[in-house]
């Protein structure tokens, strides 16, 4: 089993933190996204979507999605649970993870990809060329600001993003906030609860992954 | 238990088909999205994100996300499985579902919300006002076309979107294709495999949900 990874990229970092929290070590293969290795014929043969992470199982099966990969490891090694225990907690954690992804992670990506000169023609991840839309970069930044404010309000009386323990919803939120540094959007000073939570989860050993 | 629903809307249709496939009947409350009921104080108290579907459990817990709701019912009534059996199939189906959602469902939504006059100021679902970006509507349409082509190629030698049996990945793909009628983008005549698959899955009793 091996993980196609890029040590500097936020999307595979979600998987790296997930694995670190479960204390699972696997072989990784670094894909040089900065120099366009994801668009080479060799990597297209691994994942035609030209994205990482990709988990390759020993039977050759490839899982080409960060959350799909987390679901695989949660099923193979349930302890510690990062995606909930009973039906209700599974549902609530999935919903919280998806909301952080949509309002946080994708909003940062929208802002970054529609603005950065080096990503011209790559405004959407994947093999197809889409031009940048400057108004969309601005909208992405506005959405990230709202994400900070809302998460701050929600974390006022909570230790973690969803429920009583650390979960994949915390991982997506943490990675989104750190990803926002790429677009020079730090958490506002006024977001005290969010900053407290960020310091706490960043101190976990897995956060270094 | 009750489901906040809107019979004409594609997002809650994903849950309705999922429930029909599992032969689960539950009470529904219709939310009149066309007349803005999702923005009323009464509905904001149910879901501050101003979206449906919302599943309300008997203990008052609310699950405010279509996939989160499906995860709840999959755990409560695993048969027939719509989200996979073993770790590998769970991971592959989740990845396929997410790809159909990203490249199909969200691309249609992007095209619709950034174009339709009645959605001015509502270019992003939820309570916050975001103006329409016409270039994004055009990008959305281009992405839907690519989605049709790619799904057609993949369905050339497959009965279902992921694996040997009907799954939630088929549900998201079906709902996305039917949603594309709202932006007047039918499947191209040339997409024979996709059209065959669409006819097959549309004939299932659950597809009427």
Smallest Cα distance from B52 to chain A, Å? 13
Smallest Cα distance from A57 to chain B, Å? 9
Compute how many other C-beta atoms are within 10 angstroms of the C-beta atom of residue B76. Answer: 14
Question: Under an 8 A CB cutoff, do B72 and A49 touch?
Answer: no
Question: Under an 8 A CB cutoff, do B139 and A133 touch?
Answer: yes
Residue window 39-58, chain A: list those with CB within 8 Å of chain B. Answer: 49, 55, 57
Is residue A12 within 8 Å of residue A54, measured between CB atoms?
A: no
Tell me the whole-structure pTM to 2 decimals: 0.97
**Which residues in chain B touch residue A76, judged by CB atoms under 8 angstroms apart?**
87
Span A107-142, pLDDT tens digits:
999 999 999 999 999 999 999 999 999 999 999 999
Span A44-99, pLDDT tens digits:
999 999 999 999 999 999 999 999 999 999 999 999 999 999 999 999 999 999 99
Give the DSSP per-residue string, chain B.
Answer: -EEEE-TT-HHHHHHHHHHHHTT---EEEE--GGGTGGGSHHHHHH-TT--S-EEE-TTS-EE-SHHHHHHHHHHH--SS-SS-SSHHHHHHHHHHHHHHIIIIIHHHHHHHHTT-GGGTTBSSSSSS-B---HHHHHHHHHHHHHHHHHHHHHGGG-SSSSSSS--HHHHHHHHHHHHGGGGT-PPPTT-HHHHHHHHHHHTSGGGG-
**Which residues in chain A touch residue B133, judged by CB atoms under 8 angstroms apart?**
133, 135-136, 139
Question: Under an 8 A CB cutoff, do B87 and A95 touch?
Answer: no
Question: Under an 8 A CB cutoff, do B75 and A86 touch?
Answer: yes
Q: Is B92 on the interface with A (CB under 8 A)?
A: yes
Which of A111, A109, A101, A108 is CA-nearest to residue A126?
A109
**Is residue B209 predicted with pLDDT exceeding 90?**
no
Average pLDDT, chain B: 97
pLDDT of residue B163: 84
Which of A191, A185, A146, A121 is CA-nearest to residue B124?
A146
| The total number of residues written for chain B in this structure | 209
Smallest Cα distance from B113 to chain A, Å? 14
**Is residue A209 predicted with pLDDT exceeding 90?**
no
Span B89-120, pLDDT tens digits:
999 999 999 999 999 999 999 999 999 999 99
Q: What is the mean pLDDT of residues B168-179?
A: 98
Q: List beta partners, residue A30.
A: A5
Span B5-19, pLDDT tens digits:
999 999 999 999 999
Span A9-36, pLDDT tens digits:
999 999 999 999 999 999 999 999 999 9
Span A141-192, pLDDT tens digits:
999 999 999 999 999 999 999 988 999 999 999 999 999 999 999 999 999 9
Q: List beta partners, residue B122.
A: B130
Of B72, B94, B128, the CB nearest to A88: B72
pLDDT of residue A132: 98
Q: Interior CA angle at A5 toward B169 and A200, to 5°?
A: 90
Residue A132 tokens, joined: 């940048």
Span B27-58, pLDDT tens digits:
999 999 999 999 999 999 999 999 999 999 99
What is the predicted ipTM?
Answer: 0.97
**Is residue A39 predicted with pLDDT exceeding 90?**
yes
Going along chain A from its start, the domains and CATH numbers come out as 2-76 (3.40.30.10), 87-208 (1.20.1050.10)
């Amino acid at each position: 089993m091996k993980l196609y990874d890029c040590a500097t990229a936020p999307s595979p970092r979600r998987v790296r933190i997930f694995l670190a929290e479960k204390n699972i070590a696997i072989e990784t293969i670094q894909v040089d996204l900065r120099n366009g290795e994801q668009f080479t014929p060799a990597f297209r043969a691994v994942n035609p979507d030209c994205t990482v992470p990709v988990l390759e199982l020993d039977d050759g099966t490839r899982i080409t999605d960060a959350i799909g990969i987390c679901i695989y490891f949660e099923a193979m090694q349930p302890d510690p649970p990062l995606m909930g225990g009973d039906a209700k907690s599974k549902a609530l954690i999935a919903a919280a993870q998806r909301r952080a992804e949509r309002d946080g992670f994708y909003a940062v990506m929208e802002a970054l990809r529609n603005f950065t000169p080096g990503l011209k023609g790559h405004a959407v991840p994947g093999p197809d060329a889409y031009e940048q839309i400057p108004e969309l970069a601005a909208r992405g930044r506005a959405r990230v600001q709202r994400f900070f404010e809302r998460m701050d309000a929600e974390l006022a009386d909570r230790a973690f993003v969803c429920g009583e323990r650390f979960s994949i919803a915390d991982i997506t939120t943490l990675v989104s906030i750190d990803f926002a540094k790429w677009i020079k959007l730090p958490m506002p000073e006024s977001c005290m609860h969010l900053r407290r939570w960020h310091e706490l989860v960043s101190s976990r050993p897995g956060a270094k992954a």
